[in-house]
A and B are shown apart, each in its own frame.
Chain A
Amino acid sequence: MKNVILDHCRRWWWVFLLGGAYAVILGWSLATPDFATGYWQGKHSFLEQFFKIQSSMLLMQSSSLAVFTGAMLLLYDLQRGLVRVVAVLPLTGRQLGRSWWLATVAAPAAWQIAWLSIGAGAFYLFHPGTTFPTVRLLLADLLIFLWFGTAFVIYFVNQATQEIRWGKLCNFLATVAIIWMMFGFALSLNAQKSPVKWALFLGLGLLMTFFGWWRAGQFIPGQTKTANRPRARAHTLLSPLPLKSLPGTHSEVGGNGGLALLFSVTFYRAFLFCLYAAVALPLALAWQGQLDSWSAAIKLVAGLVAAYWVLSFFTLTPALRQLRYLRTLPLSASHLALMLIFLALLPVLALGALTTGIAWLSSDAPVTLLVLNHFLFVLAPASLCVAVAIWRGTGIQTYVMLLLMLIGFQSASYRNLPLYLVGAIVAVCVLLAFLVARLALRRSSHAYRPPITPFGNFTWLGGK
């Protein structure tokens, strides 16, 4: 078990290092006296502004630490074939599963908590007059641990139990976990006012974390007992021909195909995810009594545009990973580039149109303009991100770029740029994205040779 844990840590040390650095920033922010008092509006330096945004979004940022430095790393390894390597090691399924749990939940949680405390301690050291945020720190520590534990369940329920008998129950649990993560963030904004709800959600988080530890051995792909699937069959000369295989009875593959099918599959999924994100947080805040008007809810929905962009991008990544196949179809490079960019923007556009429509009907003109501004502005980084993914593949470089663009976008969007300027920026970015994507499709071999893993064959760090 020790070797499995150490192996994971050795291969992903750089992620832990980055996560630790980020945790120091969060710890520092957590210790600031004006923690969680709203976004920065004044004209201050980028760093100050960044810190302010981090502090007010602290708990969500700490959850992203768990999302990106926890079980997701193991998921990448599994997609690169780790399971076949470790399955032959002299370890039971339970030992292996628990090793992975320790490597992706306990160890990184302890690491992040340590650095979070160091960050908070550093602030206290440089500002001796302030009070050390013991309660906030403990709460953040607990949340970080639970987020790591919940992320483990979410990833592995979906990854490892697709074919098992109780797969539907597992998917339900994963859904509960995702909702818990979102609501947990929303509830954290006024934790002191609703201790019962807090206890309820923390209890659920503890349950999920314990469930992950308890059933860790079951989450190893291929270790579960599969249900009786109709796939296991062998045609022999004596076996009758299945009716659906007879000529003229090809009804299963009817309907429109081609690009229309690609659009429908990708768009509906992304739009539903975005819609869920748009509805869940306002509902959670309304439940907490923190939303008092339609316009406040609409502003909140518009404030989450970066989340819609990220969701839409992640929904598109499976299509980006099959660029090699798409390129063999009778589509020109320009057509394909345009289609992929449009696919990423369409769910955001649709949700934007819906929200703007509601804002127009239920609020005043400034709110409608604000919504329009936010939804329009996000198209710029969203289109560029697709171009980078086409150019470099859906590997780590793209994810780093996504993160940088996300920070840049968040910083810029709070400045409330005028609509004409936003329109001009979007036009330039979409055009640039199209040109880069088309050039990459025409010239680059890189885009066509990524393995079927999110981090590609990026060997100098995670791929060792």
Chain B
Amino acid sequence: MNPNAIEIRGLVKRYSAFTLGPVDLTVPRGAIYGLIGPNGAGKTTAIDMIFGLGRNDAGTIRVLGFDHRADEVALKRQAAYVNPDLNLQIWSRVGKAIRFVRGFFPGWDDAYCTELMHAFHLEAQDRIATLSFGAKTKLSLLLALSRRPDLLILDEPTTGLDAVSKQQVFSELLKAVANGERTVLISSHSLTDIERFADHIGLIKNGSMLLEGRTDEIVDRFRVAEFFTRNGAALPGPVPAGLTILKWDENRWQALLDQHSDAPAWLETQDAQNLTLTRLTLEDLFVALVKEKEPAA
């Protein structure tokens, strides 16, 4: 059995104003994988390609061992997709939407569906048009979880959810992956949740994958380095790849330091004084990697 639930290699999708890729992405089986990135980075485009919502211009996508185009029906039987944009209003009632989707999945778990309806405060006779944004997202989640998919792909699933609902959603996700057989790919801007629940992350910026790996390893790899230079604001020579200057003020510097690069050794050679290294949260790391560097105040 392929150890990876999703393998994307060299994925390229071109639009008139934006190009995604080439992107490589690997989601191990049984993992909760957080796909993060700023708005417009290409997260939804990448996820759409997996489900055939548009055609990739280059690259291969294999999901649960299936080719995403040649075996699209088999793939969709085992994978579920949640996105706040999914429109279910044609069914008018929650019960009808459930009935419609259930018809496609022989393995639909009615008991679990009922349990989720109760947990999410949804009832069969509720009108979809009058549900709140968060309740619609919950319905979408319910429709995805109740089919007991091997792969669950969630695009911004916690948008519009309150803290309690978020907790419920992640609790259900953890239950879903508890036996290690199911995989979750989640794209979200809620980085605190991603850090807490995702064991792998991928960071996309401007259509390219900046970082990918285990969450703890990635967070542990970077530090914020603060130091002073002796001779005014200038750093001698070009800054190496693992050091990103975040801001500076006269001779005081703040930079993002990749500890797996040559940057720490380089800093020592530059006579950086009072060097302090601070551990980051995923959110801090995200901001540091995504934000453009700030000039002097």
Contacts and interface: CB of A to CB of B under 8 A. Distances in A.
Contact of A256 (B81, B85, B103): B103
Nearest to A229: B130
A233 B121 contact: yes
A332 B73 contact: yes
B111 to A, nearest CB: 5
B90 interface: yes
B76 interface: yes
Interface stretch (B49-57, B237-245, B270-278, B282-290): B49-57
A372 B17 CA distance: 49
Nearest to B74: A330
Interface in A395-433: none
A58 to B, nearest CB: 36
B141 interface: no
B54 A448 contact: yes
A452 interface: yes
Contacts of B52: 327, 333, 442
In which size bucket is the chain B interface? 35 or more
A329 B89 contact: no
Contact of A245 (B100, B102, B118): B118
A116 to B, nearest CB: 38
Interface stretch (A63-71, A317-325, A362-370): A317-325
Nearest to B115: A247
Of the candidates A235, A249, A254, A324, the one having the most CB atoms from chain B within 10 angstroms of its own CB is A324
A257 B99 contact: yes
A137 B85 CA distance: 48
Nearest to A322: B87
A448 B48 contact: yes
A250 B114 contact: yes
A162 B89 contact: no
Contact of B88 (A241, A249, A254, A322): A322
Contacts of B74: 330
Interface string B110-133: 110111011001011111011000
A265 B48 CA distance: 28
Interface string A234-245: 110000011011
Given A244-B123, A253-B99, A324 B118 contact: no
A261 B72 contact: no
Interface in A424-448: 442-445, 448
Interface in B160-204: none
A259 interface: yes
Of the candidates B54, B69, B88, B125, the one having the most CB atoms from chain A within 10 angstroms of its own CB is B54
A163 B73 contact: no
In which size bucket is the chain A interface? 35 or more
Contacts of A335: 73
B53 A445 contact: yes
A445 B98 CA distance: 26
Contacts of A233: 121
B95 A327 contact: no
Interface string A205-236: 00000000000000000000000010101110
A328 B99 contact: no
B210 interface: no
A265 B90 contact: yes
A319 B83 CA distance: 17
B77 interface: yes
A449 B53 CA distance: 9
A67 B32 CA distance: 51
B53 A327 contact: yes
B113 A250 contact: yes
Contacts of B103: 256-261
Contact of B95 (A248, A253, A325): A253
Q: Which 7 A-B pairs have the closest CB atoms?
A: A258-B103, A257-B103, A252-B124, A445-B54, A245-B118, A330-B76, A318-B90
Interface of A: 162-163, 229, 231, 233-235, 241-242, 244-250, 252-262, 265, 318-319, 321-322, 324-325, 327-333, 335, 442-445, 448-449, 452
14 contacts: A242-B123, A245-B117, A246-B114, A253-B113, A253-B124, A257-B99, A261-B96, A324-B86, A331-B104, A442-B69, A445-B48, A448-B48, A448-B53, A452-B89
